[in-house]
């Protein structure tokens, strides 16, 4: 009985790693510290775990978790509610429908695949904000946020890969 409860406890912890990575990314992106004095928007760090885990382990990163991470991003970023939640779910839908194409990419292709997903997220956010305020906001902040998000993806993907290969993959296969 103790072994069974230990197995269940480990499985629960392993299942929470992708979501925890998304939540941690939201907090990191919204820390009130800026290297550029607030001149540049923060990258969408929370989109990176959503994208990565949706491709690698969709059973651990569901659309509901993408929505929860997006709501948390909405709350901590201080913008109107629903912008990032809607954007992350729309991006998840794209990734889910094109999983084979995205999962088959490597190297620069993988970064371009993420750039496509980030473009969908940023475009969706832009459209939601446009409808929310009934005007077209400036594209410059969205384009800079998109560029920074894509720039930060390669190191984030390496970190997420380490999490997957050293924690999620081995621990899930043992039981």
Q: Which region among 5-14, 79-88, 102-111 has the lowest average model confidence (pLDDT)?
A: 5-14
Mean of the pLDDT values across residues 12-34?
90
Look up the CATH number of the domain holding residue 130.
1.10.1760
- The Cα–Cα gap between 170 and 175 comes to 9
Q: What is the percent of the chain with per-residue pLDDT over 70, rounded to a whole number?
A: 90
* pLDDT at residue 173, rounded to an integer: 47
Q: Which residues contact 161 (CB under 8 A, 6 or more apart)?
A: 52
Summarised one tens digit per residue, pLDDT across range 93-150 is 999 999 999 988 888 999 999 999 999 999 999 999 999 999 999 999 999 999 999 9
Query: Mean pLDDT over all residues of the chain?
Result: 89
pLDDT for 174 beyond 70: no
pLDDT at position 34: 76
Query: Is pLDDT above 90 for 2?
Result: no
Token pair of 140 as six digits: 């410059």
Max Cα separation, the chain? Answer: 61
- CA dihedral in degrees (82, 87, 143, 100; nearest 10)? 170
Integer Cα distance of 48 and 54 in angstroms = 10
Assigned token pair, 48: 């990176």
The pLDDT of residue 40 is 85
Query: Dihedral angle at the C-alpha atoms of 99, 128, 60, 93, nearest 10 degrees?
Result: -30
Q: Indicate the pTM of the whole model.
A: 0.89
Task: Give me the domain span that covers residue 128.
Answer: 2-173
Return the percent helix, strand and coil in the chain, to nearest 5: 75, 0, 25
Residue range 63-90: average pLDDT?
A: 95
Q: How confident is the model at residue 51 (pLDDT cuts 50, 70, 90)?
A: very high
The domain total for the chain is 1
- How far is 30 from 118, CA to CA, in rounded Å? 18
Considering only residues 93 and 174, tell me which one the structure prediction assigns the higher pLDDT: 93
Residue 105, pLDDT score: 87
């Amino acid at each position: 009985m103790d072994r069974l409860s230990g197995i269940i406890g480990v499985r629960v912890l392993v299942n929470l790693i992708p979501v925890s990575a998304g939540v941690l990314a939201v907090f990191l992106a919204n820390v009130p510290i800026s290297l550029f004095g607030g001149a540049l928007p923060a990258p969408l760090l929370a989109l990176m775990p959503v994208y990565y885990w949706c491709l690698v382990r969709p059973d651990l990163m569901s659309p509901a978790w993408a929505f929860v991470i997006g709501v948390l991003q909405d709350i901590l970023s201080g913008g109107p509610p629903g912008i990032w939640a809607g954007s992350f779910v729309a991006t998840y839908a794209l990734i889910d429908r094109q999983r084979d194409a995205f999962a088959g990419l490597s190297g620069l292709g993988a970064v371009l695949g993420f750039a496509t997903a980030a473009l969908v997220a940023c475009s969706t956010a832009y459209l939601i904000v446009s409808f929310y305020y009934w005007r077209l906001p400036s594209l410059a902040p969205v384009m800079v946020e998109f560029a920074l998000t894509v720039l930060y993806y390669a190191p984030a993907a390496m970190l997420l890969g380490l999490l997957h290969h050293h924690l999620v993959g081995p621990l899930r296969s043992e039981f």
